[in-house]
Amino acid sequence: MKDTTLVVAGMATLAAGTYAFRLSGQALRARISFPPRATRLLEAAAVILLAALVATTALTQGHGFSGFARPAGVLVGGVLAWRKASFLVVVIAAAAVAAGLRLLGIR
Amino acid sequence: MLTYAVLVDVGLTCLAVFFIGLSYGAVAVASGFPLWVPAAQSLLVLAGASEFLFIGIVAAGGNPIAAALAGMLVNARHLPYGLALPPGVTGRGWRRLLGTHVMNDESVVFGLAQPDLPGERAAYWACGLGVLACWPGGAVLGALIGSAVHDTNAFGLDAMFPAVILALIVKDLRDPRTRRAALAGAGIALASALVLPAGLPVLLALAAVLLLVRSPAPEAAR
């Protein structure tokens, strides 16, 4: 770790900024009332953000492709989740598939 | 107020978060950070994706402030979370300070899934406090054993995080309209990830909300 002061400043910025986001959504909601349709749109917006997070963390590494093992693990986890497997089964299966493929030489 | 089934789900979720915390702590130490970095970060930021991102960017030689801003972009989703939560779920008075801090992907999902306000509040807090214990706990333990495990990817730990989030949203993806928009958003994020700095592609995916604005669901479908 090169510059401790700068890293601490970055950590503090991220912590404070994240707390501000957590607070401001609630504060806004108390001031303005939302029609049910707008609320549903907001919930859908959160799902879209998370789906995008899944896609990028599963398939990319930097600006490139992450390799096959990781998305394969995530895919198996996703199929299990769709079939209503328990949370822990999903997570362990995802890790096991990715690790198994790498063991076989598939990156 | 909470059914046994919900409690079991919350418990398993927290256990999964603990495992991801293990991988996070291990990855952080393997990237050259001292133990206190993942420890403090996991407790004070308490938002996994942004912390992985921060560690990744700084370890790759990026500026920590830029890494923090990228992390904030990822965490901007907490604003719509706060809008979506019914008032009172995060608590009142001083409790709300803590109730706001434990707002995360998991606690919001469990909170919103309950049928009434007492249930929503109980599920939100149970999951929020569970994650507050398990995420930093996992991160510290992971950092401690991180020096022993050199290649965390060999154990597939990197596949855990996207799998967890996918499992969290799979219930919403059963709705065809939401699924279409989510797939479109994922496509936008993937395409832009090729060129844009980390963090931005996920936010750009929000453009897919337009798909839902343009084709309103029939009210009878509710």
Residue B177 binned pLDDT confidence (cut-offs 50, 70, 90): very high
* Amino acid at residue number B138: G
* Contact flag A48-B72 (C-beta cutoff 8 Å): no
pLDDT(B218) > 70: no
CA angle B97, B101, B102 (to 5 degrees): 120
> What is the predicted pLDDT for the residue at B118?
93
Average pLDDT (B167-192) is 92
> What is the predicted pLDDT for the residue at B221?
42
pLDDT tens figures, B143-164: 998 777 667 677 887 888 788 7
Selected residue with higher pLDDT from B26 and A90:
A90
> What is the predicted pLDDT for the residue at B102?
97
Q: Which of B37, B198, B208 sits opposite A48 (nearest CB)?
A: B208
Q: Is the pTM of this model over 0.90?
A: no
> With the CA atoms of B71, A74, B182 and A38 taken in that order, what torsion angle do they form, in degrees rounded to the nearest 10?
-60
Q: Which residues contact B133 (CB under 8 A, 6 or more apart)?
A: B14
CA B39 to chain centre: 17
CB contact, 8 Å: B113 with chain A? no
How many percent of chain B have pLDDT more than 70?
94
* Amino acid at residue number B84: A
Average pLDDT (B83-91) is 88
Distance, CA of B157 to CA of A70 (rounded, Å): 9
CB contact, 8 Å: B152 with chain A? no
Q: Which of B160, B177, B202 sits opposite A49 (nearest CB)?
A: B202
pLDDT tens figures, A14-70: 999 999 999 998 988 777 766 777 767 877 887 888 898 889 889 988 788 989 999
CB contact, 8 Å: A96 with chain B? yes
Residue B91 — φ and ψ, nearest 5°? 95, 175
CA nearest to B139, candidates B22, B20, B13: B22
pLDDT tens figures, B95-107: 999 999 999 988 9
- B88 phi-psi bin (left φ>0, alpha ψ -120 to 50, beta other): left
User: Do B182 and A47 contact (CB within 8 A), yes or no?
Assistant: yes
Contacts of B172 in chain A (CB under 8 A): 43-44, 47
Distance, CA of A10 to CA of A2 (rounded, Å): 13
CB contact, 8 Å: B63 with chain A? yes
User: Do A51 and B105 contact (CB within 8 A), yes or no?
Assistant: no
Selected residue with higher pLDDT from B125 and B55:
B125
CB contact, 8 Å: B183 with chain A? yes
> What is the predicted pLDDT for the residue at B222?
39
